[in-house]
């Protein structure tokens, strides 16, 4: 129905965007496949996990210097996306990986 069509259009748009971007601070789409019921997106492996887990782990690894570096990389990635007319509408620590 209409919902399935909307999902299909959204998925195609997401895949097209992921295929078009190339920036060191953004994950890359390695492969994509789908059938009638599911889609599989293969992205870069990020062994350090997401930044939410890192920030809330209670460790003292999150130094001011590291925070500045993370912020600078985030700003550079968003600047790249905006320069390519792409808006990331879900920027949060859980969407950022180490």
| Sign of CA pseudo-dihedral 74, 96, 80, 43 | positive
Options 3, 35, 50, 90, the catalytic residue: 90
Q: What is the pLDDT of residue 1?
A: 64
- Cα 60 from Cα 51, distance rounded (Å): 14
Active site residue 50: no
Q: What is the pTM of this model?
A: 0.82
DSSP 68: H
pLDDT in tens, 11-45: 999 999 999 999 999 999 999 998 888 899 999 99
- Supply 35's token pair: 């059938």
- Cα 13 from Cα 33, distance rounded (Å): 14
């Amino acid at each position: 129905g209409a919902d399935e069509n909307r999902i299909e259009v959204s998925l195609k748009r997401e895949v097209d965007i992921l295929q078009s971007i190339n920036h060191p601070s953004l994950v890359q789409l390695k492969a994509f496949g789908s059938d009638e019921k599911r889609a599989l997106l293969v992205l870069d492996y990020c062994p350090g996990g997401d930044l939410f887990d890192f920030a809330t782990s209670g460790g003292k690894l999150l130094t001011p210097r590291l925070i500045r570096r993370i912020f600078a990389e985030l700003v550079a990635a968003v600047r790249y996306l905006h320069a390519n007319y792409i808006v990331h509408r879900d920027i949060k620590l859980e969407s950022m990986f180490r």
